[in-house]
């Protein structure tokens, strides 16, 4: 029977991902038999405040970009991934990523496959990527790719292009309102628009963690469900965009800020791409 070995690299990876202490991370990985997701849950069940990096766990080096069409009613967001930051900040690599973004905005490709099969300067984007792989000597690929269409679409690219966001509204909101919401998404990393948009698996996972936390606090079993529901409500408030406190005015939720700034306006969707 083999014995599981938890390496220093494993511990450091979990520590970077969660912000928990090294010894806590080592114990969590040991208890979870090396399963990182299970180790994160273990830490949370023990009351650890774990950093929320759900959308960033598999991110690589590269260039993240969001760009909108001239009419402000459609846009794209994606990352061009590479292996090292040395390549990510190279002027030619950045120019290539920008040219892909321009083409995607102009043609509104529905998915990554359509984007890669499209023509750019007389060659398919997929072939141009292979040419760059041969030239640079690193793996290069299109990471997350999404398109957004609505009455108003706003893009935000955080300085350094490691985080990009795009958000859509049901009516033509002021550009500053759109930028405020897009920056909120960049900073607060919501997982969904509202609680109804959170997938069932995530909700079940959060309820299980909440119940274990409540039991660990010594609360009576007949109170566990009610208290766990309260913790779930807090989870929705902190992790869904509409319900988050607006960064610039904590007295308002993001949804309230948008409605107040533009009568009847609502957020219809958003995307966020981040590189760790």
Same domain, 119 and 73: yes
Token code pair at residue 24: 């806590």
Same domain, 21 and 94: no
Same domain, 185 and 71: yes
Domain that holds residue 31: 1-51
What is the separation of C-alpha 186 from the centre of its chain, rounded to a whole number of angstroms?
8
Provide the CATH number for the domain around residue 158: 3.30.479.20
Is residue 216 a part of any domain in this protein? Answer: no
Same domain, 47 and 137: no
Alpha helices in 22-90 (DSSP H): 22-31, 36-45, 85-88
The per-residue pLDDT for 44 is 85
Q: What is the DSSP string of 248-264?
A: TEEEEEHHHHHHHHSTT
CA distance 246 to 249: 5
Per-residue model confidence as pLDDT tens digits over 13-47: 888 777 788 888 889 999 999 898 889 888 888 87
pTM: 0.78
The per-residue pLDDT for 58 is 37
The list of the chain residues with pLDDT below 50 reads: 1, 52-59
Is residue 222 a part of any domain in this protein? Answer: no
The per-residue pLDDT for 3 is 62
The per-residue pLDDT for 55 is 38
Same domain, 75 and 181: yes
Same domain, 125 and 159: yes
The per-residue pLDDT for 161 is 96
CA distance 132 to 137: 8
Q: How many domains does the chain have?
A: 2
Handedness of CA 42, 44, 48, 51 (dihedral sign): positive
Is residue 246 a part of any domain in this protein? Answer: no
């Amino acid at each position: 029977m083999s014995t599981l070995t938890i390496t220093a690299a494993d511990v450091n990876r979990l520590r970077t991902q969660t912000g928990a202490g090294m010894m806590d991370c080592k114990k969590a990985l040991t208890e979870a038999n090396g399963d990182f997701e299970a180790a994160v849950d273990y830490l949370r069940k023990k009351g650890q405040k774990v950093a929320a990096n759900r959308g960033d766990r598999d991110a690589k080096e590269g260039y993240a970009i969001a760009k909108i069409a001239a009419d402000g009613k459609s846009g794209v967001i994606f990352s061009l991934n590479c292996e090292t930051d040395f390549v990510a900040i190279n002027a030619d690599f950045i120019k290539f990523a920008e040219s892909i973004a321009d083409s995607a905005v102009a043609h509104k490709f529905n998915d990554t496959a359509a984007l890669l099969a499209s023509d750019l300067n007389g060659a398919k984007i997929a072939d141009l990527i292979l040419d760059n792989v041969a030239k640079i000597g690193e793996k290069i690929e299109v990471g997350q790719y999404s398109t957004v269409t609505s009455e108003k679409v706003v893009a935000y690219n955080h300085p350094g292009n490691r985080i990009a966001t795009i958000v859509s509204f049901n009516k033509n909101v002021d550009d500053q309102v759109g930028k405020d919401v897009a920056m909120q998404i960049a900073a607060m990393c919501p997982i969904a628009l509202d609680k109804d948009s959170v997938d069932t698996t995530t909700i079940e996972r959060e309820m299980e963690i909440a119940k274990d936390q409540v039991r660990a606090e010594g609360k009576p079993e007949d109170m566990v469900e009610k208290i766990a529901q309260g913790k779930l409500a807090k989870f929705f408030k902190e992790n869904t965009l509409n319900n988050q406190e607006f960064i610039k005015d904590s007295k308002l939720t993001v949804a309230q800020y948008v409605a107040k700034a533009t009568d009847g306006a609502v957020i219809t969707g958003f995307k966020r791409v981040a590189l760790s």
